[in-house]
Amino acid sequence: MTLNRRELLKVVGASLASLAVPSLNWAAQSPKYYTLPPLPYDYDALEPSIDKLTMQIHHDKHHQAYITNAINLLKSDAKLLEMPPEKLLMDLSVVPEKDRQGVINNVGGHVNHTLFWEIMGPKGGGEPTGALAKAIDSRFGSFDKFQKEMSTKAATQFGSGWAFLVVTNKGELEVVQSKNQDSPIMNGQKPILGIDVWEHAYYLKYQNLRPKYIEAWWKVVNWKAVSEKAATAMKG
Ligand code: MN
């Protein structure tokens, strides 16, 4: 039997896949809190605010890398690996000191990005309604003032990091800056909206123009998702 190129590739692919089975066995039982959540929309769904290639690399490569690194840090202690990541970030004392910064970076990276995909969406933008709108007005004066504060904090975060809208442990809204992948959860705050201002989040399309990216990002914020998170966070 003579195989053409396509058929040959199929056969080679199949045998490679079967070779990979032993190492995939472990992945098949990969810890439930440490699998890449599928993007809830297409890679190009946030165009033109965020381009398809940025979304592909950001979700498939960057987010996956945080997860892989987190697993490698935690896998020697099943108890840690089976803890909800948020719980781990709330009490880092359970993590051996030598691994703590790695956990901050990578478990933080996993949790931050999971939030990031959820609070964006096609047909996003505009302003929130209902209880969240009221809470924003009463805390910041108006939606515009809130937006300005969050944009400024995102634009002026020096180097890599985030700006988050959080619910504090007193149940109040606050906008905070965060360096690297530091999660507000470590400070007892519940992030309900976050903008990633690492260069990997915008550089392909916006290069050095971070404020342009921030301006475009507001157009893809999924306020329904943010409102649901706010309601849950405020319940305590
Ligand atoms: Mn990122």
Q: What is the mean pLDDT of the chain?
A: 91
Task: Compute the distance from residue 223 Cα to the ligand 1 centre, in Å.
Answer: 20
Which band of pLDDT confidence, cut at 50, 70 and 90, is reported for residue 27?
A: very low
The larger pLDDT score, comparing residue 24 to residue 98, is at: 98
Domains defined for the chain, CATH in brackets: 1-21+47-236 (3.55.40.20)
Per-residue model confidence as pLDDT tens digits over 156-168: 999 999 999 999 9
Integer-rounded Cα radius of gyration of the chain:
20
Ligand 1 centroid from CA 63, angstroms: 7
Sequence-distant (6+) residues with CB within 8 A of 185 are 86, 89, 90, 111, 191
Whole-angstrom Cα distance, residue 183 to residue 53? 26
**CB contact set of 142 (below 8 Å; sequence gap of 6+):** 136
Global confidence as pTM:
0.87
- The pLDDT assigned to 181 comes to 98
* Portion of the chain with pLDDT greater than 70, in percent: 87
Task: Quote the ligand 1 centre to 198 CA distance (angstroms).
Answer: 6
pLDDT tens, position by position, 72-112: 999 999 999 999 999 999 999 999 999 999 999 999 999 99
pLDDT tens by residue, 29-41: 578 999 999 999 9
- 3-state SS string for 163-185: EEEEECCCCCEEEEEEECCCCHH
CA distance 66 to 113: 9
pLDDT at 141 over 70: yes
The pLDDT value recorded for residue 26 is 47
> How far is C-alpha 186 from the geometric centre of its chain's CA atoms?
15
| C-alpha 181 to ligand 1 mean position (Å) | 8
Ligand 1 mean position, distance from CA 180 (Å): 9
